[in-house]
Structure 1
């Protein structure tokens, strides 16, 4: 098992941890050994370094799980630049916002995606290149970057407004990789199927943690649960990560007994597992250890539950992962007692550097650690309420903000409302998440109008928003309630939805 060394290194040094001739990456194009991975990363980095960018300028990628998408998280930091991965399912308006907000100097994408962009989507000063243009005959050696230097900006939705760019350092990424590789007990013989988007910290860390342990990553863009079953069988996969809606689909799929038995490790984040899902996964995959986890992009990962405790504590999110200090805090800043609800606060070296160019929202979420914390410096005050039991296990109680968590995605109600209102089909709208067995939460929009233009609204949003942001239902009203300040009374609206 990997050693828990608390001293971080530049993230682009990860390929050097693997055995040179062992396979690090397997995809449709074949395989890359760790030696070839290192050379390819160095080649992309050399191309980037030759473009004349200043240190710490941003390189955006808008790609499916191609080799470039897998290697750019290492290549951009090696060249002294900052990687900004854009979720490939986002549409042009969201891509345009991220490019402008991050100040990206180059967008690496594909010809078909370039054709989907419109004039004005790519800001002045940002160049578009296809991934085929990145070839270089020379190789840039591993960097000697300051591990506190910025390495990536991952965009995540906020509870209000547009997505926020979470700033991650080399140390954040390196220590996250070592921590996860250790507590998941990833080994060099493991074959990890990467089905999660690489623009999410959870999906990106699968690359890093697997390579930190010398294992093999098999990236997969899947359309159906059957695609995942086939990949597990074809590649002899031992480890699979998912979010609750994916597990629902996988349990509904047909699994040959021999294929299901190949899986040795299942990891979950992006939403809590229900006891029903836990029972289903334990029955379907009898040889797999199940790791429920809790995290937030601002601090990467906070807790995990030891597989030995899953059956007895199916609703627990576990204890702190290595390198994380997790505290349960009362409103007055003191430590909550066992059994007493409090805010989950994450301190330690996995805490991100704040939100990109957003001092106001950074100050709201990133605040000094409580006085009783062992770790100094800034902590992430999650806004989530948890309870710690007498054995030190944590249970998630609720989310204090209005974020919608659907199909493993954190979705801003304001972003949905802005999209609904932008076409003029409705005058007022409020978006909410309501419980849904398959999605965790489904998006419901309460709108003022008679509903006669719902078909046109749905058609427009299908063009403008990714599938996971599509409202499942519209609740049409002739009037919407208001509070004393004249604003929509969101509390009353949500209560009326049940």
Structure 2
């Protein structure tokens, strides 16, 4: 180990524990964990992993709910010089089997509640040298797993320090799997440098402070959720960790009780929140900032959020796992550019290219390219997929990220998201971006959520099919919605079919699941 090592990601925890040891770092499931405890427990698990044979660069898969154990395991994996791989607890057994085969972890840290999901995949994973299970599990079930121990055994021996440092900052810190909505999930490889750069950049424009209390109801397996914990630990702040947003009233109760200052979410979460009749019953005055990513917030939702959180800064952001964050819209720009996803985050450059890889000017739609230290190292064990995304940059020897997203930029350098490259629908010979149609639908009073897909059509090639969810108490028919679209869109962009639904299917990360909508539409013709 060097006398003055370059900082690694887990040094955030080491430093905060050293300076703020007795301060509450984590609130979760009724538990209040100090920085000293987080440091001690993560050291214990790290030493246990090393003793079990986990070496530098080995993968540690964490398959668990948002729990204290999951948080401890992330930091412990890094301290053991390993690579953390967090998996959403909603993952099904067949997908988990694929992820275990692909990732080839040497350790699996999980919880007894998920036993029915992980037991068979884990038993057939030959790379595992250790399985650690938290919660109540029988001796029979535990012994049926490879090299398995209880969580209590992994934390039994206290250690003042972590195992000897073997990594440098270009080594992998995490592999985060994409949702796999368009095929097999891909593991995004992120180095310590990638993640520290992203954390520093995002925390700087959000102005995350030591006295921050950040609520996270997003899965830690979702990079947006994971970075809430990393930013909190970096600042020596407090994280209120929720299992999910399934019970929004309960989440709001915790916001009020804990005097939460930072509230990250996605548009679907805020849409749900705005429908709560009990919203006015909670004191939400402590909120300093809201963040939303995935898409620009609908203007109507933006106005409502401002009314509910009058003292809060609202950040609309855009990014993808391959580089964490691309842009943010400064709160002072919300009124003049409400549909923009903003400017490049600090220490990042972006531009747009056409199909011939030439940069385009303002207003022209093309593919977004990102340059900076947040850009991933590549896809785990997928060199061909990596080569499609990482290409030579403007300077010799560098690689930049071709996002695959269609965007345009205005004359001021503000970005407008148009569509994912695999979402463009060709109808009547015209290319249609679903996002543009969805924005028009959300502009219609009474429509709360909207999703647009393409369905096969003998005459049009593909016809546009819209699914909408209405505000509570509103009644709007499909024909009326189509007439409203005709006022807002070109004729070829008006949906041929409109379905008014009670709710829309979600992915594991809370996004609208268009793959499920498409599959259902094809099955019923």
**Which of the five TM-score ranges fits, normalised by the shorter chain?**
0.7 to 0.9
1:394 paired to 2:418: no
Which whole-Å CA distance do the structure 2 matches of 1:60 and 1:234 have between them?
33
182 and 120 in structure 1: CA distance in 2 versus 1, 3 angstrom threshold: closer
Contact 1:181 1:212 in 2 (8 A): no
CA RMSD of aligned residues (A): 3.2
Deviations 1:259-295 (A, max 9, x none): 2222111000123311112112111111110000000
Question: Which shows bigger deviation, 360-369 or 292-301?
Answer: 360-369
* Segment of structure 1 superposing worse, 143-152 or 109-118: 109-118
3-state DSSP class of the match of 1:256? helix
Equivalent of 1:186, from 188, 197, 208?
Answer: 208
Does residue 299 in structure 1 map to residue 323 in structure 2? yes
Q: CA deviation at 1:437?
A: 5.2
Question: Which residue among 212, 220, 231 is the counterpart of 1:209?
Answer: 231
The alignment of Structure 1 onto Structure 2 pairs a total of residues equal to 427
Higher relative contact order at CA 8 Å, sep ≥6: structure 1 or structure 2?
Answer: 1
- Structure 2 unpaired stretches of 5+: 135-150, 425-433, 439-452, 454-461, 472-504
Aligned 1:49-88 pairs, distance under 5 A: 49-88=50-89
Please list the CA deviations of residues 117-136 of structure 1 after superposition, one character each: whole Å capped at 9, or x if unmatched.
45355422324320324214
Aligned to 1:279, which of 281, 298, 303? 303
Aligned equivalents of 2:188 and 2:524: distance in 1? Answer: 40
After TM superposition, list the pairs within 5 Å mapping 1:348-497 onto structure 2. Answer: 348-369=372-393, 371=394, 377-402=398-423, 436=468, 471-472=516-517, 474-475=520-521
The question of whether the paired residues in 2 share the 8 Å contact of 1:60 and 1:83 is answered with yes
TM-score in terms of structure 1 length? 0.79
For 1:44 and 1:478, how far apart are their aligned partners in 2? 51
CA contact (8 A) 1:9 1:174 kept: no
1:325 aligns to 2:349 (yes or no)? yes
**Alignment match, 1:154:** 176
Deviations 1:105-146 (A, max 9, x none): 222111231233453554223243203242141324273621
**1:475 is paired with a residue of what secondary structure?**
helix
Q: Residue 283 of structure 2: SS of its match in structure 1?
A: helix
How far apart are residue 221 of structure 1 and its match? 1.2
**Match of 2:154?**
134
2:235 and 2:524 mapped to 1: Cα distance? Answer: 59
1:13 match: 11
Partner of 1:268: 292
Question: What residue is the counterpart of 1:342 in the other structure?
Answer: 366
Per the alignment, residue 250 of structure 1 pairs with: 273
- Mean CA deviation greater in 262-271 or 332-341: 332-341
The alignment's TM-score, normalised by the length of structure 2, stands at: 0.75
Partner of 1:46: 47
Gaps of 5+ in 1: 1-6, 407-412, 414-429, 440-460, 480-498
SS in structure 2 opposite 1:123? coil
Paired position in structure 1 for 2:495: none
Supply the distance in 2 between the matched residues of 1:438 and 1:176 (Cα, whole angstroms): 37
Deviation at 1:53, TM superposition (A): 2.1
In 1, distance between residues paired with 2:94 and 2:176? 17
Q: After TM superposition, give the deviation of residue 26 of structure 1 in Å.
A: 1.7
Q: Aligned in 2, Cα 1:212/1:376: closer, same or farther, shift over 3 Å?
A: farther
Shift of 1:471: 3.0
| C-alpha contact 1:269 1:294 (8 A) present in aligned 2 | yes
CA distance in 1, matches of 2:34, 2:28: 12
Residue 224 of structure 1, CA deviation = 1.8
Asked if the contact 1:148/1:169 (under 8 Å) is kept, the reply is yes
Matched, 1:241 2:252: no
**SS of structure 2 residue aligned to 1:129:** strand
DSSP-derived class of the 1:298 partner: coil
